[in-house]
Structure 1
């Protein structure tokens, strides 16, 4: 039997498994079975809590930041590896603190290793903020075809540690008409796939210096989810890019599972993007791996 905890960030839900010494080898099939909403626990992905020193990817994180004791081994619901998860890392940090595995005093920072590099967590008014690091426009902007859209739309490629394609829609009716039961088609298809976000600006777009948009997402290896943290950040970055030089650096992004905050700020290695929002632990139990 394996102990687990179920958690979520704005409805983006995860099965958390503590494996401090890195002794648990989860196959893709086992991950998919645990995430199955009919025959398993049900989740958008798995967060394995492992000491950075225990696995090769984690030791690379320690080379980057010796204080990054913990590594977030994130797997998508289909069992595939993922570089980063903006909602997941807040839930991961919340689990570390609630379990007594780490501390985070007001004004201090908790570094966590990920496959996208070390990410810093701080407390925020809504829960936690994660510095997602430097971002970039990834180029190769594909055309996007999705069920429920009358015509193919252009997308903007944005990399925030994992790949995204953001598509602008004109109105809420278009957003509501999307059928994301199967993944949107991208042409050209990115070599490692991408999360695809569909966004509608609020009216007005900017209120009191803060940008407001609404978004739905199809996550690579998962399907539609109630929220995607890195997708929220990519969406805000894309809309700011389209809006031009006078667009704000603070955004509120509404997703089906709630609202998340995004801010852009300068750093030594270029502009960074931060994501803030809640994290909750729902229940714990034991499960038999098959």
Structure 2
């Protein structure tokens, strides 16, 4: 097998293996993707991101009909090899990777359109990171019960879609959040078709400081387990807390995750309210793989 050139990157500790495959020619089966992201026998990561020109992927070609400027498609999969619709931290790291490898150019203050399985997402380059428009969000109408290890009783959750599915659960204290054992997947009753990421969130006291809402969060991602951060999960958590807090709650939030802090902003758009995510993107090393997968 020929060597595979990969790059490791992360956004607030949510880490990814990135592969350039502009022509869409690589054979990356779910098993091979899982082998590459395995933390003991592979490079290790919460997911794998393949950079493909949209014209060379069926999902990308469909998007180009309405968004001809979406030259690049983020082909994202979880660490178990399963395909996912979107990744909020991943799309920032993906754009940073495109820029650092010369596959795209983007000046600070400007945006680039990226194809994903959740649709086209615009990513804005900031002076110290990136901000992604995650698109229109919505309540999915579900309020399932969620059980987790070290959580004495099942808690109600709120189903939210941010291009991918989430269930957000409010906890009473930092101590309760810290005590959770997320080494096993939380049990959602009734179980959503296709699964969901589960966010456990604690509002800060006071909730709002200088007009900005503040919360802490831990997350169990479907297909990856507990991660140090989840971008779409941070957005879902902020949206859920705003929903519970009522009409006086702010539209700007700071979400503390084990890997750092993310910014979330809700804003009006032509097709309804959108949610944006901002934060850092870091590339850590390059490598060549010859015997993984």
Please report the TM-score for the alignment, with normalisation by the length of structure 2: 0.98
**C-alpha distance in structure 2 between counterparts of 1:119 and 1:42, whole Å:** 26
**C-alpha distance in structure 1 between counterparts of 2:104 and 2:127, whole Å:** 20
Indicate yes or no: 2:287 matched with 1:285: yes
Q: Which residue in the other structure is 2:242 paired with?
A: 240
String of CA shifts for 1:121-158, please: whole Å, max 9, x gaps.
Answer: 00225400000000000112210000010000000000
Indicate yes or no: 2:235 matched with 1:226: no
- Number of residue pairs aligned between Structure 1 and Structure 2: 290
Q: Which residue in the other structure is 1:195 paired with?
A: 197
Deviation at 1:108, TM superposition (A): 1.9
**C-alpha distance in structure 1 between counterparts of 2:201 and 2:193, whole Å:** 23
String of CA shifts for 1:192-235, please: whole Å, max 9, x gaps.
Answer: 10000000011100000000000000000000000000000000
Secondary structure class of the residue paired with 2:49:
strand
Q: Which residue in the other structure is 2:47 paired with?
A: 45
Q: Which residue in the other structure is 2:92 paired with?
A: 90
Q: Which residue in the other structure is 1:101 paired with?
A: 103
Indicate yes or no: 2:180 matched with 1:178: yes
**C-alpha distance in structure 1 between counterparts of 2:205 and 2:225, whole Å:** 28
**C-alpha distance in structure 2 between counterparts of 1:131 and 1:232, whole Å:** 13
Please report the TM-score for the alignment, with normalisation by the length of structure 1: 0.99
On the 8 A contact 1:140/1:188 being kept in 2, the answer is: no
Q: How does 1:131-142 map to 2 (within 5 A)?
A: 131-142=133-144
Cα distance, 1:65–1:175 mapped onto 2, change above 3 Å: same
Q: Which runs of 5+ in 1 are unaligned?
A: none
Q: Which residue in the other structure is 1:18 paired with?
A: 20
Secondary structure class of the residue paired with 1:64:
coil
Secondary structure class of the residue paired with 1:230:
helix
Deviation at 1:64, TM superposition (A): 2.7
**C-alpha distance in structure 2 between counterparts of 1:113 and 1:131, whole Å:** 12
Q: Greater CA deviation, 103-112 or 77-86? A: 103-112
Q: Which runs of 5+ in 2 are unaligned?
A: none
Q: How does 1:49-198 map to 2 (within 5 A)?
A: 49-198=51-200
